[in-house]
Each structure stands twice: as C-alpha cells, then as structure tokens.
Structure 1
Amino acid sequence: MKIAIESVLLGLVSLPGVVAWGDLGHDTAAYIASYFVSNSTAAYLKDLLDNQDEDYLAGIAMFADKYKYTHEGHFTENFHFIDAHDDPYTDCNVNYDRDCKKGGCVISALANYTAQALDRDLSKEENQLAVKLLVHYIGDLHQPLHNEDVARGGNDIHVQWRDHDQKLHAVWDKTIPETIAGHLSKKRKDGILEWALEWANELTTEISNGKFAREKNTWLKNFDLSDPLNTAMGWSIEANKLVCSHVFPKPNSPEKIEGKELSGRYYAKAAPVVEKQIARAGYRMAAWLNEIAHNNWEKDNEEL
C-alpha cells in the first residue's frame, strides 16, 4: 500500500532554491526506506524518533545537513563524503586508508553511528542522534560526487544547464533529480516532502514489481551490518565507478566538461543513474535500519 500523501505535515516546506539531493533526493530515499522496513522496525523507529506520522524518516532526512552547521555538530562536516584521490578519467577507485580524512568521512561515520545506534547503554537521545545521522549519510554515500575528490567533488567545475551557469556538483545534487521528478503533480509548489513522497511512491513500485524488481536483491549483496565499514566501502566503490562512466564519461574529462551544456544528451545518460542511486539508497537504508531495530529488539527482550 502506498504512503498517503495527505498524511504529510504541510508545514514542513523547504525554502525556494535550497532543493538538492539533500532535500528532494534525501527525502525520497527516506520515504522509500519507510516503505520497505518491517512493521516492527517502523514501530521501533517511530518510538525512538518521537514521531508517529508517515514522515518519521523523511522528516529527519535533512537533519545532518543542519547539524553540521551547529557548534555541537561542526565536527561532522567531513562525514558526508569520502574524497577519492583517483583519476576519474582513467581509473576510478576508492581506498579507505588513502581517502578517508583524519577527522573522518562518510564510511567511518556510518560505522561509528551504527555502533552507537546499537549501543543500548547509551541514552535514547544518543541512539536517536545516531539514527538521524545514518539516514542522511546513507543517502550521501549514493551520490557519485560524494565519493570523489577532483575539483572538490565537482564543486569547482562550472557547466551550463539550459544556458544557466551551475556547478557540476549541484547538477547531480539538485538539477537532475528535480528534472526526473518534474513530471509529478506535486512538484515544489506543494512542498518538498509532498513532492518527495509522490516520487517515492513511484520508485517503490519500480522496486517492488517494475524495472528494478529483478535486480533489487543484488543491491544487498555482501550487506553485513556486523561489518558496516566494508559494507559502506562496497557501496562507495560502486558509486565512485559512476564518476568514470557517467559523471565524466569519455571524452568528457574534468577539464573538458567545463562550460558544457548538460541538459541534453548528458542528462539522458545520467538520469537513469541518479534514479537508480536514490532507489538503491532507500532500499539499502531500509535493510540497515531493519538490522539495527531487530538487534535492539532482541537485546531488549534478553533483558526481560
């Protein structure tokens, strides 16, 4: 059964101009996850997050982006990405020891906050914070340019989109997802959560019995929450390969893509990748949260 659009809190509307993978993409992935988690996981998370509404995950999907700008959360600034020091024109690759910054990266953050989410000796508030951050970081991990260092993940590469100047990173963060979901009735005018929910309903159908149905089980190949670091590294390697194949497809080296118009042929090849990555993020997020909830449920029952 699809999530009811009417149940979304209408007051939670993002300001114009700030939509990104961070808003539309993250919220969509979170709604997809809320569709695929088990009933017991949903009950556990709603209690942990103090939210019984359908947006219990989507409503906190952007928390980490706000948290990093606070005094107490500033140390998480580097937890949204891993800077692969590779050559995205000849050899895309990620190496944890080489690429994870001394202060941490998205891979170490996923491992650390998974441990905190599973630690029943921590307070409810600490478990809650860990889950809020995990929901966002799993989404970040699936954006190819969050797994690449060149030109600061594409932030220093300026391109054209329908004759308007944009950063390449923003094209992948914001413009491509918005364009894919532009056919939906809600769009931005009804609020980002409503728009994301409508897109999530569409993608969950594709995952359940549409174009992703046959491959969705492969998305969890080698998934092992007892080894979150290697699980996350596998997904990072997968996303990083897309930098070579679709972000900078030959002959579009990082230097040659500067100033190019990307709304035509480039978009046609990139859009299916973005759509699949958001679908993967939501489906994998559900598996990740299921394992956390089930492990904690078993621990709680052992103590009874």
Structure 2
Amino acid sequence: MSLGSVACVDPATSDSDTMSATLRVVTILLLCSLPELATAWGDLGHETIAWIAQSYVSSTTASAIKDILGLTQSDYMANVSTWADTYRYTSGGRWSAPLHFIDANDSPPSSCSVEYSRDCGSTGCSISAIVNYTSILLDDESSDTTRYDAMKFLIHFIGDLHQPLHDEALDVGGNDINVTYDGDHTNLHHIWDTEIVEQLADGASAESFAKNLTASIKAGSNGWDVNSWLDGTTLNDTLSTAITWAKEANGYVCSDVLSAGIDAVEKGDLSGSYYKAHFDVARVQIARAGYRLGAWLNLIFTGKTAG
C-alpha cells in the first residue's frame, strides 16, 4: 500500500488490543499527515520557479501580490508555491486534484499533442484553472478571500503546466511506469518531479538554484532563445496561451521523457545516462515556468510583461 492510499479510518475499531490499537493510531496519523509523493516538480522545483518569477515582477506587481497574500517577507511567492499540493490532499481540497494536470490522450513516443476539448475533463484541468484564476485576479469585484486562493493556485498551476508528465495521460502521467533512480525503486513521474531536479540543483537551495537559472536566462545561456518564451502570451486569450505552454511541455514526452519507449526507461538506473541525456528539459522548463509566471503576473497587474 502506498502512502497516498492509506485509509484514514477510526483506528479504535480496528483492533481490540490496546497496545496494538495505539500503534495503529500513531502509524495511520503519521501516514495520513504526509503528502502524496508525486507532486509536480516537488517542493524544490515549485519554490525555484517562484523565486525566478520574483526576479521578473515589477515593483507594482510585487506590491499587489504581497497585498493579496498578506505577506511581506522576501520569499512571498516561494512561501506559498507548494500550498496547492498540500491542499489537494485535505478532505476539503480533494476537488482540486484534477486541476494539477491535463491528460493528453496522445500516443507517445510516436505522437504527442494536447487538445483542450479532448483532454480537459468535466472536473477541470490545469489549463482551465489558469484561465479561471487569472480572470479572478483581473476582476476588481473578486473578494479578498477568492483572490487570495486564486493567487496561490495560479503560482502553483503555471509551474505544474511546465512539467511534461503533467500534460500526459499515458500510464497516469508516468505514475504507473516503474523505474530505478540512484538505486531507489520509484516511478517515472516522480523522478521528473523530484529526483532529476534535485540532482540538477546539486544541493543548492531553491533560492540559490533560482539565482543560477535567472543568471542563465539573462545571459541567454544553454542555447535558450529567451525572446521567444513569451510569443503569443496575451490576456486577451488566456486559453490559447496556456494551451501553447502545455503543448510545448507535452512535446518533450515524445522527444525526451519517453523517446525510447516505456521498456527502455524500465531498465537500468536512470540517474546515469538517462539523466545526462534529458536533464536540460527539466532545467529549461523550470526556467521558462518562472520567467513566464513573472511575466503573466506583470500582465495582470500592470498590463505589460516586462518588470
């Protein structure tokens, strides 16, 4: 049984022996307090994206965000960047789980594509969430509480959208593809969320990792065409903008994540040659997510992408 599937039942009815029941209480409470293991980019990735975005927001935008969140500290965006992952595993937040991804029903590695009408379910998806929460922040009539939640969700979901396997339906976005990474048995989705990012950061904190990536963005390093990252970005058609970003991320499922097929990733340890061949996808997608998040928030609060 995985940690995410533990049933949080009343342990008092499960065992008549007092000591056994006590142990069950402790075990269940500990397991139920833990978040699901597979959350897009993991804490490090989401916090890094938020720190990058903070480097690109204008002073006007930063003030607006701080005011909405009621925060003044230096990590005002990074501080809330993982909230949506915690919230989705609460009884009151389970409704938000589908908003973390869009299930592209394509056929990797031979064909990758995202179609909103085909892939965004009736309960919503990451794209519809970005459209919705952007509209809430643009509406001056939105309540403070609604804007507060919308800001936290938007910071998180723009990050989610850039993780390739959060734009893929195959094997539950890779969650059902068993792999080995640095000697540990896990799944393909998890290593793209966490292990690849942690190996890439090489022990750096999210703030330091973000500073390094921001320097690369400003220098145009790694062959990045930063000037193209905001092509087509407009508040006049938020749906089209989000779909463009999702299609870009989804394309990496065919070109990198599963380029050699499922059988290939289920063999060997992926922390070696697989990491070396594909780490740049994680690096560029985290950089893009942060850069775009900052520009998107600038659009909302100033009407211009530049900070």
Segments of 5+ residues of structure 1 without an aligned counterpart are 1-14, 185-194, 296-304
The one-letter amino acid of 2:284's match is K
| Superposition deviation, residue 125 in structure 1 | 1.5
**2:296 aligns to what?**
288
The one-letter amino acid of 1:274's match is A
**2:187 aligns to what?**
167
- CA–CA separation in structure 1 for the residues paired with 2:171 and 2:209: 31
Give the TM-score normalised by structure 1: 0.84
Let me know the Cα RMSD of the aligned residues.
2.0
The one-letter amino acid of 1:288's match is W
Give yes or no for contact 1:158–1:259 (8 Å, CA) kept in 2: no
**2:199 aligns to what?**
179
**2:245 aligns to what?**
235
Moved over 4 A (4+): 15-20
Give the TM-score normalised by structure 2: 0.83
The one-letter amino acid of 2:89's match is Y
Which structure has the larger Rg? 2
- CA–CA separation in structure 2 for the residues paired with 1:132 and 1:23: 14
Structure 1 counterpart SS, 2:262: coil
1:11-60 Cα offsets, whole Å, 9 max, x none, are: xxxx9996961300000000000010011101111111111111110001
Give yes or no for contact 1:219–1:284 (8 Å, CA) kept in 2: yes
Establish whether residue 276 from structure 1 lines up as the match of residue 284 from structure 2: yes
- CA–CA separation in structure 2 for the residues paired with 1:289 and 1:96: 23
**1:190 aligns to what?**
none
| Superposition deviation, residue 164 in structure 1 | 2.0
Aligned pairs, number: 270
| Superposition deviation, residue 213 in structure 1 | 8.4
- CA–CA separation in structure 1 for the residues paired with 2:291 and 2:275: 24
2:154 corresponds, among 134, 158, 161, to 134
Query: How is 1:194-205 mapped onto 2 (pairs within 5 angstroms)?
Result: 195-205=205-215
| Superposition deviation, residue 257 in structure 1 | 2.4
Segments of 5+ residues of structure 2 without an aligned counterpart are 1-33
1:81 corresponds, among 86, 101, 106, to 101
| Superposition deviation, residue 69 in structure 1 | 2.3
Cα distance, 1:78–1:237 mapped onto 2, change above 3 Å:
same
**1:157 aligns to what?**
177
1:182-215 Cα offsets, whole Å, 9 max, x none, are: 153xxxxxxxxxx100101111111112406861
Structure 2 counterpart SS, 1:153: coil
Cα distance, 1:53–1:168 mapped onto 2, change above 3 Å:
same
Give yes or no for contact 2:116–2:243 (8 Å, CA) kept in 1: yes
- CA–CA separation in structure 2 for the residues paired with 1:78 and 1:162: 30
